[in-house]
Structure 1
Amino acid sequence: MTMRDSTVLIVEDDRLTAETYAEYLARAGAFEVAHTSPSARDALAFLAERRRRTGSFGIDMILLDMNLPDGHGLDVLGQLRSAGFTGGVLAMTADTELETIRRSIALGVVQYLVKPFGYQQFAERVRSFRDLAIEIEGPGRVDGQEEVDRAFARMRATGPSDLPKGLTEETLTAVVAVLQSAQSAQSAGEVGTAVGTSRVTARRYLEHLYRAGMVERSPRYGSPGRPENEYRWSGARRGHSTR
């Protein structure tokens, strides 16, 4: 039997990030992007119209950002759950507030990926949910508690971090915050001072983000001493990197 593609709605206001998710899905295989919504209003309108025309939402998976220009992603999800949407929702967000995480769990978010992340983490999660959804779709019963436990364990499963050895998620998050708030491009030394690490350590994180396509790198001219690079946050991701 030929496996059908899983239909995906991307809810993400940053155009480059949304395009990257679409590229990641194409790379992962067996996914079809039905629509990309840049706002809460657009997502709700798209799904309402789709349901009106076809009689169902017709969406297997939603990739959901939390901080949308006209509302919170979980408010969108709450309305969809009330309307009977039972598809999988994977949060893709920089929001690490405990309240957001608690609400996500309550509303049935099956995976929660904290930005920035790379292709491997993304693919592990969307494939894991897709495979589970296929396994449990349709009528019937499972054999017992062991099968139920296996299904829930697979839903919670996460892939290994794709950070290079020696880098930590906590410091990476701090480096990203510095770049996002900076008014101009930053050198490794400036970032290191801001986050409390050495210039060499900061440069490793900056180069990781550069390879991931999250920052732009350019030479800094006119500085005394040896030449150095400066880094500016872009938020975009290269669709074909191995990050």
Structure 2
Amino acid sequence: MNDVRVLVVDDDFMVARIHSGYVARVPGFEVVAVAHGGADALAAVAELRPDLVLLDIYLPDMSGLEVLKSLNDVDVLMISAARDVATVREAMRGGAVNYLIKPFTAAALAERLRQYAETRRRLTAIGPQARQDDVDRLFGAPKQAAPMPKGLSRATCALVAEALRDAGGDLSAAEAAELTGLSRVSARRYLEHLCASGRAELHPRYGTAGRPEHRYRWLG
């Protein structure tokens, strides 16, 4: 793919220069112009047809949100010191692909630019027609939960997890069995599954002799 062509819009000349430098350091991106007002930004978009606009909200002649609503066929990443939820919500409703709160580091901007580039790459790879799983990946839809091991149920696993979480410390398989009404063998299988899935951890307790007692602690 060709480099992503970026228009940087910020009323502060020095900040615009800094942000342009940040963009230029990310492979696959180039700054095609800088604008310091809303009208200039709209004119630059019409003339240069950039792929992405880094758009500040506080501009001298009009709000960046007004500019956002006036833009078509171009993606917009909002960059602003405004952090109130109403402004963020309006930016989302206006179609902004992301929102970065000032001040931010070069690394923070680079991460969002790479995310944007990856989304563009995926869209290009999909072709003219998208399947549901393609759309789910683009929009970050949650993955389906991994299947339970054979012989275990989600409902019972939730019961064991609740008992372990509410214990406030560690439990043995026998203690978990007593709390849940399960057999010790069944309770141990669920406890081991919780450990394997990262929600609990095993804490061996060593006595004076013999094998250590296996005890389990909730991690969440």
Pairwise TM-score range, normalised by the shorter structure: 0.5 to 0.7
2:32 maps to which residue? Answer: 34
Deviations 1:19-73 (A, max 9, x none): 111111121111111110000011112223x1xxxxxx62110101000011100
1:168 maps to which residue? Answer: none
Distance apart, 1:141 and its partner CA:
1.7
The alignment yields a C-alpha RMSD, in angstroms, of: 1.7
Instruction: Work out the percentage of aligned pairs sharing the same amino acid.
Output: 37
| Higher RCO (C-alpha 8 Å, min separation 6) | 1
d(CA) in 2 for partners of 1:88, 1:149? 20
Distance apart, 1:146 and its partner CA:
2.1
1:140 maps to which residue? Answer: 128
1:128 aligns with 2:121: no
Deviations 1:77-128 (A, max 9, x none): 1111xxxx23221111000122211111111111111111111111000111
Give the structure-2-normalised TM-score.
0.60
Which of 1 and 2 has greater Rg? 2
1:68 aligns with one of 37, 52, 59? 59
The equivalences for 1:1-243 within 5 A come to: 3-48=1-46, 50=47, 58-80=49-71, 85-137=72-124, 139-142=127-130, 144-153=131-140
Give the structure-1-normalised TM-score.
0.54
Aligned residue-pair number: 140
Contiguous gaps of at least 5 residues in structure 2: 142-220
d(CA) in 1 for partners of 2:42, 2:23? 22
d(CA) in 1 for partners of 2:100, 2:3? 22
d(CA) in 2 for partners of 1:16, 1:42? 17
8 Å CA contact 1:9–1:37 kept in 2: the answer is yes
Contiguous gaps of at least 5 residues in structure 1: 51-56, 155-243
Deviations 1:136-170 (A, max 9, x none): 1385122x32221111129xxxxxxxxxxxxxxxx
